[in-house]
Structures are given as C-alpha cells and as structure tokens.
C-alpha cells in the first residue's frame, strides 16, 4: 500500500499594519499650477508650489494665495472670523468630478476658491455646525484674485460650477497638522498653513463633508 502523505502548509497571518494602504489619504507637494485655461492674474496670485491630496476617490490639487488677507473682526460661531466674505483663498483642480457639501456634482477642472460665511437667516439655519465655507468658481469666470464680489454676485458665479442655482460649496473645519489629510467625525480634512502679512494662518478644508452627515 502506498502511503498517502498530506502536506499541510502553515497558516501565515500578516498584521494589517503591514498591508499597503493603497487607498489611504496622502498629501504631497507639487509644482506650479499649469492648467492651460488658468488666467495669468490667477496664476500670479498663488504660490508656485501646491499640494496634491490623494483620497480613495481620486486626487485634488491646491494652490493657495501668496498672501492671505486677515482682519480682526467678530463673527459669531466662525472658525475663521479674520477672513473676509468673498476673499480669494486659492485655486483647486479636481482631477475627477467632485461632490460638494450639498451633494451637487462639480465637473473635473480648475476653480478659484473664495471664502464665504454662511448667511445667518432662515434658509441656512442648522445647515452646518460651522458657518465657514469655500465657494468654487470656474477659473474662466473669476480671472482676478483682487476682485471683490457682493454676496449675490459671488453666489451666481459659483453656481456656474454646478450648472444650477446654488453655489458649489466646500465646508471648512478646524485645522489639524499642516500638510496632512485626516479622517474626522465630520469627514476627511485637509489642513494647510497659508502665508499672511503677519505669518501664516492654518485652515482646514473638508473634502468629504456633506450636509447629510
């Protein structure tokens, strides 16, 4: 009789920490903004180095203002009361379609980012725990970072990003360690330090926050 030999292979358990996290969020520095449709004034208004934030859903590139204007003022509940409504904060490029805070689709492409405090009225009551937002505007419609817009004009310009009547809005959150993207209870927050006349100002941009959360 021929003996049957069973070979039992040992079970190898690999710790989860050793498995590459291909879909994890990462932040890296990149060069200057080179989009062909970027107005020269907008290009000159941002730093020559940007940030690439990679999330499971794709990549988003940011270039921030060379000098973020800040002023001392009171704004109830605001995370960034020293920023002014309509202020130019930077440029963002979505490599793929982006879903904003309201769940609206924002096509891939380049947009300026302008700060806006949520209006304190009945239409916006309870919309978000924080009233600070960035409004995305197609770069072709916002060529000059120095231009100031009244609220209604700002909303109309940003609405071009969605093709509807509402602006494209990105929630802001409390900043963490600059140059990082961190998962929080609200969503994934990209934190960055932007130059100001007196030093730098750290801000947090929530790339996955939504009104349904």
- Per-position pLDDT tens, the chain of length 213: 444 334 444 444 434 333 333 457 899 999 999 988 999 999 999 999 999 999 998 999 999 999 999 887 777 789 999 999 999 999 999 999 999 999 999 999 999 999 999 876 545 445 567 899 999 999 999 999 999 999 999 999 999 999 999 999 999 999 999 999 999 999 999 999 999 988 999 999 999 999 865
28: helix, strand or coil: strand
10 Å Cβ neighbour count for 36? Answer: 5
Question: What pLDDT sits at residue 154?
Answer: 97
Q: What is the pTM of this model?
A: 0.85
Contact 173, 209 (CB under 8 A): yes
Question: What pLDDT sits at residue 194?
Answer: 97
Torsion of the alpha carbons at 158, 101, 202 and 175, rounded to the nearest 10: 180
- What residues does each domain of the chain span? 24-206
Contact 159, 170 (CB under 8 A): no
Sequence-separated (6 or more) residues with CB below 8 Å from residue 75: 81, 117, 131
Alpha-helical runs (H) found in 31-150: 40-44
Contact 88, 65 (CB under 8 A): yes
d(CA 10, CA 13): 10
Contact 89, 204 (CB under 8 A): no
d(CA 64, CA 46): 5
Look up tokens 């070979």; give the residue.
7
Question: What pLDDT sits at residue 57?
Answer: 86
């Amino acid at each position: 009789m021929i003996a049957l030999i069973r070979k039992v292979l040992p079970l190898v358990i690999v710790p989860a920490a050793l498995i590459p996290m291909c879909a994890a969020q990462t932040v890296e520095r990149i060069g200057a903004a080179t989009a062909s449709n970027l107005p020269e004034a907008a290009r000159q208004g941002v730093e020559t180095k940007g940030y690439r934030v990679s999330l499971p859903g794709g990549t988003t590139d940011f270039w921030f203002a060379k000098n973020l204007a800040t002023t001392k003022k009171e704004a109830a509940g605001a995370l960034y009361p020293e920023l002014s409504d309509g202020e130019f904060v930077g440029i963002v490029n979505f490599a793929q379609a982006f879903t904003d805070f309201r769940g609206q689709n924002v096509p891939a492409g380049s947009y300026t980012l302008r700060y806006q405090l949520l209006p304190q009225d009945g239409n916006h009551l309870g919309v978000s725990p924080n009233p600070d937002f960035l409004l995305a505007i197609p770069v072709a419609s916002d060529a000059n970072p120095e231009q100031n817009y009244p609220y209604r004009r700002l909303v109309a310009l940003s609405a071009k990003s969605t093709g509807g009547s509402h602006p494209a809005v990105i929630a802001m959150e409390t900043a963490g360690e600059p140059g990082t993207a961190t998962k929080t209870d609200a969503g994934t927050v990209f934190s960055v330090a932007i130059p100001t006349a007196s030093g730098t100002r750290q801000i947090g941009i929530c790339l996955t926050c939504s009104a349904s959360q």
